[in-house]
Amino acid sequence: MKKIYLLVFLLSCSGLYAQDVDSLMATLNEEKDFRTIATFKSPRLVLLQTNETQKARNLAFWVGHRFGDIGGEFGGSNTLFGLDVATDLYLGFDYGITDALTVGIGRSKFNESYSGLVKYRLLWQEEEGMPLSVTLFGQSSWITREPFSSNEFDKELDRISHFLQVIIARKFSPGVSVMINPGYLIRPEAQVQDFEDSDNLFSLGFGARVKILKRISIIADYTIVNGLSRPDDLGIDYYNPFGVGVEIETGGHVFALNFQNSQAIIANNFIPNTTKSWTDGGVRFGFMISRNFNLGPKRTIN
Amino acid sequence: MRLLPLLILSILIGSFAPAKAQFYQTTNAEITFFSSAPVEDIEAVSNDGVSVLNIDNGAISFKVKLRSFKFEKALMQEHFNENYMESEKFPDAIFKGQISGGFDSRSSNSQELIIKGDLTIHGVTREREIPVVIQISKDGEQLRLNSKFEVACKDHKIRIPKLLWENIAEVIEVTVNANYQIIKP
């Protein structure tokens, strides 16, 4: 009997004590607001740029490829469903000057263009506070191919175009991120293929990532170009760029295996020049691979 | 029924005892973890560990936000949170335990002790016995707790893919250095 009382005594004490440690812990809980990380796994989705930038003093090497039409007139078994053809090939480097500012250079097979890009993270989504991330993106492209006709590029400036975009992104859950990318392309009249087409074009992009496994995501983006500032009755059939893909992340590498109707990789080329459609076999396979290098000294963490 | 007074007494003592209990707290405990693998050593530090310790009965509660760990490489930090710890789902590492036997709360000597309790990381709770060294300052205002123990990734369902370039040890060494202050009633 004594033992039972003693037990009751001990239990009543220890129960109260344990509770007090926990209730004191609750009062100590300083909630720190952390920036949401990895809204997207990569600075690029399928066709569009994401709000992500390079980490400070990290260099990314990019290799991108777009094959030929899978079906239709130019595809099928004659070209092994487009694998014989390379409509675009991109090699580039992006470097993070700070966590917020990235600069990059690249070269595309399409139009033999050299491009330079700047990305700046204006707002960061936070776990408690800021609901959105906003990144500004600018890219200039210089077409270096021989003119198709003697008067195609009268001046050197006729070869240069600029693309500006505001990327508004939100990570809704660990597996679901969405972005909206309004953009504006500024191009000289010499680069306009259809006489009726406007020089400068508004675009409105939408992109999303859905994680299916820890390191594998489904990615997709769609950009509205037709029906904004572009006239309706053009001689050339232009289509809105649309791509879907699988993104695989393996530490320092990110692989994206994509299907899209755009032949070109950089926005300056695919925003105005997407002449293939998903419905007539104009969709093509492509990939984008990045390898990250940490160039800076290791950060001091203490 | 001779024992009834004792029962009443025990309840009375039980309910009053917490007022006399000595609590210590910290909000800036340093937690370091170290992974040693053939290709590279990875180290991360947080200075945001939060803990409360009751030296009268040895109850301890310890918590650290995984997002507060800083790595030498920013990309590693992102991978740690995104791929391994899933910090958005499981934001905290938590330990709740009890100092087992032999603790002298009046001594100012450093005491080597074992804390038995539950360690929860990545949403998986494991019963652990963690060795600690505790020293209370002479004036009783401060208490220092140091500990070094190992956490096996497997135990907490933290999966490390074998085919990847990155190299992460299967067993991570954790070091805790905490300076507690007394909580004055």
3-state secondary structure of A291: strand
Question: A2-28 and B4-20 are packed helices; what angle lies between their axes, rounded to 10 degrees?
Answer: 20
Mean pLDDT, rounded, for A41-54 = 96
Q: DSSP letter at A56?
A: T
Contact with chain A for residue B118, Cβ under 8 A: no
With beta carbons under 8 A apart, name residues in chain B contacting A22. Answer: 52, 61, 96
Contact with chain B for residue A25, Cβ under 8 A: yes
| In-domain check, residue A49 | no
Torsion of CA A263, A269, A272, A278, to 10 degrees: 20
Beta-carbon pairs below 8 A across chains A and B: 132
| In-domain check, residue A1 | no
List pLDDT tens digits, range B51-103.
999 998 899 999 999 999 999 888 889 989 998 999 999 999 999 999 987 88
pLDDT tops 90 at residue B160: no
A129-133, A298-302, B10-14, B123-127: least confidently modelled range? B10-14
Quick count: other Cβ atoms within 10 Å of Cβ A36?
Answer: 20
List pLDDT tens digits, range A58-69.
999 999 999 999
User: How distant is the Cα of B135 from the closest Cα of chain A, in angstroms?
Assistant: 19
CA gap A126, A198 in Å, rounded: 40
- Looking at residue A243, its pLDDT comes to 97
CB-CB under 8 Å, B48 with A21: no
Which of A20, A252, A298 lies at the smallest CB-CB distance from B18?
A20
Which of A5, A174, A250 lies at the smallest CB-CB distance from B88?
A174
- Looking at residue A31, its pLDDT comes to 66
| In-domain check, residue A115 | yes
CB-CB under 8 Å, B15 with A12: yes
Contact with chain B for residue A22, Cβ under 8 A: yes
With beta carbons under 8 A apart, name residues in chain B contacting A58. Answer: 74-75
A183-187, A195-199, B114-118: least confidently modelled range? A195-199
Structure tokens at A230: 């572009």
Q: What are phi and psi of A269, to 5 degrees?
A: -95, -40
Which of A14, A17, A299 lies at the smallest CB-CB distance from B72?
A299
With beta carbons under 8 A apart, name residues in chain A contacting B96. Answer: 22
- Looking at residue B18, its pLDDT comes to 43
The DSSP result for A81-127, as a single string, is TTTT-EEEEEEEEEEESSSSEEEEEEEETGGGEEEEEEEEEEE--BS
| In-domain check, residue A185 | yes
Residues 165-184 of B with CB under 8 A from A: 165-166, 183
Pick among B57, B63, B84, B183 to test the A interface (most A CBs inside 10 A): B57
| In-domain check, residue A184 | yes
User: Which among A196, A181, A223, A201 is positioned nearest to A43, based on CA atoms?
Assistant: A181
CB A273 within 8 A of CB A108: no
Residue of A nearest to B31 (CA): A302
With beta carbons under 8 A apart, name residues in chain B contacting A2. Answer: 3
| In-domain check, residue A17 | no
Q: Where are the domains of chain B?
A: 22-182
Which of A1, A294, A302 lies at the smallest CB-CB distance from B45?
A302
Mean pLDDT, rounded, for A106-120 = 97
Pick among A11, A20, A27 to test the B interface (most B CBs inside 10 A): A20
Locate tokens 């973890």: which residue?
A: B33
**Into how many domains does chain A fold?**
1
pLDDT tops 50 at residue B4: yes
With beta carbons under 8 A apart, name residues in chain B contacting A173. Answer: 88
With beta carbons under 8 A apart, name residues in chain B contacting A56. Answer: 74
- Looking at residue A150, its pLDDT comes to 85
- Looking at residue B19, its pLDDT comes to 46
| pTM of model > 0.90 | no
The DSSP result for A194-211, as a single string, is STTS-SSEEEEEEEEEEE
CA gap B47, A58 in Å, rounded: 26
Better-scored residue on pLDDT, B9 or A20 = A20
| In-domain check, residue A12 | no
Task: Specify the amino acid at residue A24.
Answer: L
Contact with chain B for residue A29, Cβ under 8 A: yes
User: How distant is the Cα of A25 from the closest Cα of chain B, in angstroms?
Assistant: 6
Interface pTM (ipTM) of the complex? 0.80
Q: Which class is domain B22-182?
A: mainly beta
Task: Give the domain range for residue A170.
Answer: 58-62+72-82+100-246+261-294
| In-domain check, residue A133 | yes
CA gap B49, B30 in Å, rounded: 6
- Looking at residue A128, its pLDDT comes to 87
Residues 132-171 of A with CB under 8 A from B: none
Mean pLDDT, rounded, for A9-21 = 56
Task: Specify the amino acid at residue A192.
Answer: V
Please measure the distance between the N-terminal and C-terminal CA atoms of chain A and give it in whole angstroms. Answer: 57
